[in-house]
Structure 1
């Protein structure tokens, strides 16, 4: 009787786990399915290679917005990734004392700041003094979003490295900086890359900061000091428009953005899986 009771509890527990997993997956699957249903019919070569047509004229694409998103995310990455990696290495290897405690608190607070507040901050500190919306302002706003994620993920990844690996390097006479960068960091490049890509995927889908900074336009621009279109902002502008063709393109842009973000996340998870498989094979 007791054995049957334990089996029943085990069955109920497993069922609860599967139910929770399904409840998490169902919204994601429904969103992807609905966006794919609404946007797939509008995806064509012209969408990726053409600029928007004038109001009232059907056709055109979001080439400028796609390139603008990649451009500003690249600016944000150049600013935040090196700084975030160095900050994470410092917290992992020298993370004791008041400075490290204050730095961790700052990073945790920065992680929780709403993106619209970051956009307002970039607007006040960059757009207002320069008296112009710009791709640089958008890149700086996105870099503030990327920075704490890269820093935290780097710290947690490097903390997983066993201490005896560092001690072995020091025992060979290597200076500590070489042990950190040539052994600790180099041995975890794939995991660090995963954290970086997850941070980039988070920033790529942000709309609010870019409304206050890059603002957007209907033309293709590569000037860093001028307004620049981005995919999230373009989707927003098209979605609230009264024109059916623009709304159709908004769904297509949403699909492209979801594929971009999911693609980055899947690639990052694949890197982690490959590393675990390689580690088990060596073991």
Structure 2
């Protein structure tokens, strides 16, 4: 009996192999897989090329002075990136404090009331637009409504600009994560007599806290390397300053300025700053993915 079944299977396989439609589909499948692997290999090659070039040129600038000395003058030897590092940390830190509560609360509102409110639909639409808007447009917007009115560039203007970039990232991530919470969890909370706002904040939000933190870290990684909006808002400062009401140094603008300069020392510092930002963003992305894997609502 088993020999008969085996012979029947072999006959079916041979008949299928002789089918021209089957052979055509098999060829298309193999070609599709080949092109997919080639595309993946090309992307990985370019990425590795960029990272290796950045590491090769950036490591040469890494030393203690890079983190402890201010930016040098044109043609001067030595120096570091202390003032732009401090300026970037201040602006990114304050921006995170601004964008995190606004983004999380807006995401909770969209997830909880988004199906029955026209305001929520408009908010989601505006959020999607802001996610795809070029950062330079946001920089020009802050320049028009803030910098032009106060009459000078400032760290606050830069903070507001990158906050507008971070908020929609946090909103969208929070909204999407809350939708993953099982409906049974919400119904159980309602059955216990919990009001709707407590169910949204204490039950649903707590269930996806790892995913929300992931969204915040991704937003920080997004704004850490933004250059265009800061050119129109915070500008730059060659000297060390923590005054947020005046132009303040920041890594993206300093890298852009130094990379295009004719001075070898400035170019070397630009590579070092680019390496610092790249590995900081890489660390944040790895951390966010680690947190995301730790807790996924079932």
Task: Give your verdict on TM over 0.5.
Answer: yes
Aligned residue number for residue 153 of structure 1: 173
Aligned partners of 1:115, 1:9: CA distance in 2, in Å?
Answer: 41
Q: 1:123 to 1:271 in 2, by over 3 A?
A: same
SS of the residue corresponding to residue 171 of structure 2 reads helix
Is there any run of 5+ residues in structure 2 with no aligned partner, and where? 1-13
SS of the residue corresponding to residue 60 of structure 2 reads helix
1:65 to 71, 84, 94: 84
Does 2:58 correspond to 1:33? no
Does 2:193 correspond to 1:173? yes
Does 2:111 correspond to 1:106? no
Count of residue correspondences: 278
Q: Kindly name which structure, 1 or 2, has the bigger radius of gyration based on alpha carbons.
A: 2
TM-score, structure 2 length as denominator? 0.88
Is there any run of 5+ residues in structure 1 with no aligned partner, and where? none
2:215 to 174, 192, 195: 195
Aligned partners of 1:192, 1:26: CA distance in 2, in Å?
Answer: 32
The offset of 1:97, in angstroms, is 2.8
Does 2:287 correspond to 1:259? no
1:240 to 260, 266, 283: 260
2:231 to 200, 211, 222: 211
The offset of 1:7, in angstroms, is 7.1
- Higher mean C-alpha deviation, range 15-24 or range 167-176: 15-24
Residues 75 and 136, structure 1, Cα contact 8 Å, conserved in 2: no
Residues 210 and 294, structure 2, Cα contact 8 Å, conserved in 1: no
Aligned partners of 1:134, 1:72: CA distance in 2, in Å?
Answer: 10
SS of the residue corresponding to residue 208 of structure 2 reads helix
Aligned partners of 2:108, 2:36: CA distance in 1, in Å?
Answer: 36
SS of the residue corresponding to residue 42 of structure 1 reads coil
Aligned partners of 2:167, 2:197: CA distance in 1, in Å?
Answer: 23
The offset of 1:262, in angstroms, is 1.2
The offset of 1:13, in angstroms, is 4.9
2:293 to 241, 251, 273: 273
2:73 to 46, 54, 66: 54
The offset of 1:130, in angstroms, is 1.2
Deviations 1:197-226 (A, max 9, x none): 111111111001001111011112111101
Aligned partners of 1:226, 1:264: CA distance in 2, in Å?
Answer: 29
Aligned partners of 1:91, 1:133: CA distance in 2, in Å?
Answer: 35
Residues 86 and 250, structure 2, Cα contact 8 Å, conserved in 1: yes
The offset of 1:275, in angstroms, is 2.5
2:104 to 78, 82, 85: 85
Residues 181 and 207, structure 2, Cα contact 8 Å, conserved in 1: no
Deviations 1:78-104 (A, max 9, x none): 221111111110010100232111111
The offset of 1:263, in angstroms, is 1.1
TM-score, structure 1 length as denominator? 0.92
Residues 83 and 249, structure 2, Cα contact 8 Å, conserved in 1: yes
Please give the root-mean-square deviation of Cα atoms over the aligned residues, in Å: 1.8
Aligned residue number for residue 183 of structure 1: 203
